[in-house]
Structure 1
Amino acid sequence: MKKLGKFLLVGLSLGLGLAIGNLLTPAASAASTEYYVSTIGSDSNAGTSDAPWKTLQHAADTVSPGSKVYVRGGVYKEKLKITRSGSASQGPIVFASYGNETAIVDGTGLSVSGNEGLIELADVDYVTIQGFEIRNFTTASKNAVPTGIYVYGAGNFINLSDNKIHDIKNTATPTGKDRLGRDAHGIAVYGTKAPASIHNLTISGNELYNLVLGSSESLVLNGNVDGFAVTSNLIHDNDNIGIDLIGFEGTAPNTAYDQVRNGLVKGNRVYNNSVRNNPSYKSDDNSAGGIYVDGGKDNIIEQNYSYNNDIGVEIASEHAGKATSNITVRSNVIYNNRLTGIAMGGYDDERGSTVNSKIVNNTLYKNDTLDDGSGQLLVQYDTQNNVIKNNIFVASSTDVLIYNGYTQNSGNVVDYNLYFAPGGSSGANWTWKDKEYTGFATYKSETGNDAHSLFVDPKFVNATNGDFHLQPSSPAIDSGSTDNTIIGTEDIDGEPRAKGKAVNIGADE
């Protein structure tokens, strides 16, 4: 629910049925060559451990496929642009901090020219960036876009892992009715070619924080990105969206390829991301999603924790006549987000739609902390043929569980959920197709939804302290729909689904 046009960068499909580990693992490589970079080295040296190079860029301009560039601890005040590729036969080109040392790529005092990364990967295959601290790339110039790591063009087997990215900022004053011109990213991957895509992409174990993003995102995939895994990242305390999968912005030159697709967003922890103090937005805006799919398709979002953001998870399309489609949101824990837990559909009737998607086995707890009445699930404009099953919904003090304010929404299946609210069964509130219902029995009989659902305390172990596992006496145990087409194989902890006679409701099995 961004409500602003994102900053547009101008510039092989991989099925999710395959194991993502195999999908993103390159072939065995030949023996690698090791090189070293040190702040006390010299680019006239041989690049060995005893005679290291001094600059990252010299290493990038020198090494060949299969090379490992170990960067010794220290501060490197330079930009790094990688244009050389590794290969399947010889192995990737790897840039990594050496051992337990931390190499810091610091942008203090460096200019930002247009859309630019402190580390850039341009049209490369088989490249790994691992274990760096990337920081202080900032600008006060309107329409310049500083980025911690920026990947663009087309490419294959790119791995961004275990990096710490912070203080990437654009502090320009946004202008105009839409307050544009202030943009930055922590990590940005833009598939700007077609039909060649960015694929076999891994972004794992990174921490992104203290980013001043304007109308942009902490970690974004945009355009022709086909086949990826965004896993186990920690994204927090930024002034806009945490993770974003985007389509329909014209990033790829062919509209048939201009969607982020066939990917996995798994095991991330996303929190404290909000536009509340962001001058690119109005003061009453609460539209920063922890995890957002805006125009993507065929993606899975599972086993994530999303809390204290504006919105926990949003699957929507900002583009009229265009659909976010076949998104599966399952086994996530989503709590204490300001506007709502999960939002779907266009944020107004001039936007696009959400179709053929599945929201299953999630635990949503006391979102809508603004007391806005948007509830735990916000069903927005033009949602069609979606499945909402096996979720736990615990209302905030508003007692609102689901808010669906559009009569046009059709074909959505809602059942086998567990509801609870402070006001009890008779005081709980649902709005369905713009009609408000108070009381669980009334809501069920009037809408036909939730024939097999429950209204009862789910009995979490310790929700106050963020432990949403189920007590042994929880009524959610073995009460879900056992539908192998939607539930997946693992719960929030990676444990098998359907341990008992049936599937549990909620994220915990």
Structure 2
Amino acid sequence: MLSEKTNDDNGNIAGNIEISTVVDGIAMAVPGSFGAADEGTGTKITFTPSVPLNYDSTYTVKIKKDLMSENGNYLPADVSWNFGTEAFIMNEYFISPNGSDANLGTIDSPKKNVSTGLIAKLKAGDTVYFREGAYNGIIVLQSISGTADKPITFKSYQNEKAVLTSDHADYIIYLGHSQHIRIEGLTFAPNASQNGSRGVAVRIDNHSAGGKQSSGIVVTGNRFENCGTAVATRDLANVGYGDFEFSNNTVYSNDSWGFYFQEVRVKAGSYGKIFNNVIYGASRSLNLWGKSANLLFYNNTFADSYDPVGGSGRFDIYPVQGTYDAVANPINISKDLVFKNNIFTKPIRTQLEGGKAIIDASQNVAFDHNVYSIAGTSRVTFNYGGEGPNLTLPELQSGTAWANQGRPLETGGKDGRGQIRRYGERRPDHLRHEPRDRSGRRRDRTRRRSAGDRYKRQTADAK
């Protein structure tokens, strides 16, 4: 309300009154129109925004001193004040290539990026949905956490294909000292400028001694295409890890790494579970640097061919000795690992430097009920220190050391007949599902043969 009458002749009002807000650190003008009505000796000015104002936001009104009254008077100086909008409680945010970071983030008004401003708003139970399309940028979560029953989730919307890329070579999504974060149903790939191959897709770090322990991280149902490493997990501060899960992911790699673990020691009573993943084409499907512990690898398929001559440097498990802090943790190799029900097509490459290898009894590493397509004695090869033992299948498959500690694990690497199961054999009855009819009886497998197969069999019998 102005004490003297004024009008909008020659843009007097519209040109001298501004309304703005700040979005992700950038001041943005609010579009809209002005109206003026005389009240007594003055004029009441109203503003109607052309788009809804954002919830939980601060707006600034600025009236310039050049605003002139009908009497020819001006303000002595610019006048500004702020007003705020009420908070709107959201637990779902939508991201779209066609969105705008000035939008609220609803399905009808999506944001364009997972900005620092949006990340600061995330709370336990929130979900960030990616609509179909390609996104080029990084997502950094430092000490951002959900809860065990209400994780913070990043996922594709209703199975739409959301492809995340980044010019940043070290990561697309970075989690530092974060807890209960879920990454689901996304595709990670190089962008057009990276010539078909990029660096790490997801990096999970403990990097500060005073930081909280990373835990409750779930990476599931994603596709990683030609990423230098699909998921890199590191403990650079000897903080330790709680439970985490990498499951049901597909890693299609152009001769790089699948999952990388650097001194990932999961606390007692917790486990890192890596299961139901398919990794194809990696030079190192699982890369273990330094002493990682309490990791369970099961039901994974490492689908690739191995040429012992031309395939040098390609391994399904690649454990080496190392330490980030030799004072706190003397150099060592991984221990307390379980590999169960996996399909291996490339050998294990284990280090012998200093006399250490993960197959040593002291390391308590169990291989049980795995399938190997590598023939002869090339299932395990040794590096940095000469030749190690040529293990037989029974020796490699023994799970006795792990089972003797009371852990629930089948032992001996044997099938239901007490025999070692080699590549190409069917799984024992307790590991596969026999087809049955409605009465619970096993179906006759010969009934499923085609007419051509039955004809060939009858012809052979007749001969």
TM-score, length basis structure 2:
0.57
Alignment of 1:88-127 (within 5 A): 88=147, 91-107=150-166, 110-112=167-169, 116-127=170-181
Q: 1:265 aligns with which of 297, 304, 309?
A: 297
Q: 1:218 aligns with which of 248, 251, 258?
A: 258
Aligned Cα root-mean-square deviation (Å): 3.8
CA distances 1:154-175 after superposition (whole Å, capped 9, x unpaired): 401001111100122xxxxxxx
The aligned residue for residue 400 of structure 1 is none
Give the Cα separation in 2 of the matches to 1:469 and 1:265. Answer: 18
The aligned residue for residue 150 of structure 1 is 203
SS in 2 for 1:359: helix
Q: Which has the larger radius of gyration?
A: 2
Alignment of 1:23-62 (within 5 A): 33-58=91-116, 59-62=118-121
The aligned residue for residue 129 of structure 1 is 183
Q: 1:191 aligns with which of 224, 235, 238?
A: 235
> Is this contact kept in 1: 2:185–2:221, CA < 8 A?
yes
* One-letter amino acid of the structure 1 residue matched with residue 366 of structure 2: T
Is residue 129 of structure 2 the alignment partner of residue 70 of structure 1?
yes
SS in 1 for 2:379: strand
The aligned residue for residue 317 of structure 2 is 291
Closer/same/farther in 2, CA of residues 52 and 90 from structure 1, 3 Å limit: farther
* One-letter amino acid of the structure 2 residue matched with residue 468 of structure 1: R
Give the Cα separation in 2 of the matches to 1:90 and 1:61. Answer: 20
Give the Cα separation in 1 of the matches to 2:277 and 2:217. Answer: 16
Unpaired runs of at least 5, structure 2: 1-88, 207-212, 321-332, 400-410, 435-463
Alignment of 1:265-414 (within 5 A): 265-272=297-304, 286-294=312-320, 295-307=333-345, 309=346, 311=347, 313-314=348-349, 316-324=350-358, 325-335=363-373, 337=374, 340=377, 342-343=379-380, 346-347=382-383, 349=385, 359-360=396-397, 389-390=412-413
CA distances 1:8-39 after superposition (whole Å, capped 9, x unpaired): xxxxxxxxxxxxxxxxxxxxxxx981111111
The aligned residue for residue 30 of structure 2 is none
> Is this contact kept in 2: 1:85–1:124, CA < 8 A?
yes
CA distances 1:77-110 after superposition (whole Å, capped 9, x unpaired): 1122222422337721110111121211023xx2
How far did 1:43 drift? 1.1
SS in 1 for 2:119: helix
How far did 1:323 drift? 4.8
Q: Give the helix-richer structure, 1 or 2.
A: 2
Q: 2:221 aligns with which of 158, 162, 172?
A: 162
> Is this contact kept in 1: 2:159–2:185, CA < 8 A?
no
How many residue pairs align between the two structures?
303
How far did 1:209 drift? 0.9
SS in 2 for 1:48: coil
SS in 1 for 2:237: coil
SS in 2 for 1:320: helix
Deviates more, 1:50-59 or 1:220-229: 50-59
Q: Percent identity?
A: 19
How far did 1:351 drift? 9.1
Alignment of 1:169-180 (within 5 A): none
Unpaired runs of at least 5, structure 1: 1-30, 169-183, 248-258, 277-282, 363-387, 393-415, 419-457, 471-489, 496-509
* One-letter amino acid of the structure 1 residue matched with residue 101 of structure 2: D
Give the Cα separation in 1 of the matches to 2:242 and 2:390. Answer: 24
Give the Cα separation in 2 of the matches to 1:353 and 1:167. Answer: 35
> Is this contact kept in 1: 2:181–2:218, CA < 8 A?
yes
> Is this contact kept in 2: 1:41–1:52, CA < 8 A?
yes
* One-letter amino acid of the structure 1 residue matched with residue 316 of structure 2: G
Closer/same/farther in 2, CA of residues 133 and 390 from structure 1, 3 Å limit: closer
> Is this contact kept in 1: 2:293–2:336, CA < 8 A?
yes
Q: Give the strand-richer structure, 1 or 2.
A: 1
Is residue 239 of structure 2 the alignment partner of residue 200 of structure 1?
no
Give the Cα separation in 2 of the matches to 1:348 and 1:199. Answer: 32
Give the Cα separation in 2 of the matches to 1:88 and 1:271. Answer: 35
Q: 1:83 aligns with which of 142, 145, 148?
A: 142
TM-score, length basis structure 1:
0.52
> Is this contact kept in 2: 1:96–1:131, CA < 8 A?
yes
SS in 2 for 1:43: coil
How far did 1:111 drift? 4.5
* One-letter amino acid of the structure 1 residue matched with residue 344 of structure 2: S
